[in-house]
Amino acid sequence: MTAVQLNAMNTELWQSIGAIADNESLMRRLTRYAKKLLKEREADPTLMTKEEFLASLDEAEEQYQQGKCKTFDNLESMNAWLSSL
């Protein structure tokens, strides 16, 4: 997601919150839902945004180019290494 898209989404979110801010019941529901989303994110560390995922790929590629990675000549040697963990 680009910064412009993120800004637009942020603006839309705040406008929506402003529209329901005077309704206590809706604000309670919104707060509960936000807490639920946060718990889901914290409960599953594999959840990440597209940007986070792409950044992790960039970092892995950089480490590979610097030779900071484990390589294997064949499947058996890879499986032996994985079994040793």
59: pLDDT strictly greater than 90: yes
Residues in contact with 40: Cβ distance below 8 Å, sequence separation at least 6, in sequence order: 47
Residue 60's pLDDT band (boundaries 50, 70, 90)?
A: very high
- Tell me how far apart the terminal alpha carbons of the chain are, to the nearest angstrom: 36
pLDDT digits (tens, 9 = 90+) for 3-42: 888 888 989 999 999 999 999 999 999 999 999 988 887 8
| Domain boundaries defined on the chain | 1-45, 48-85
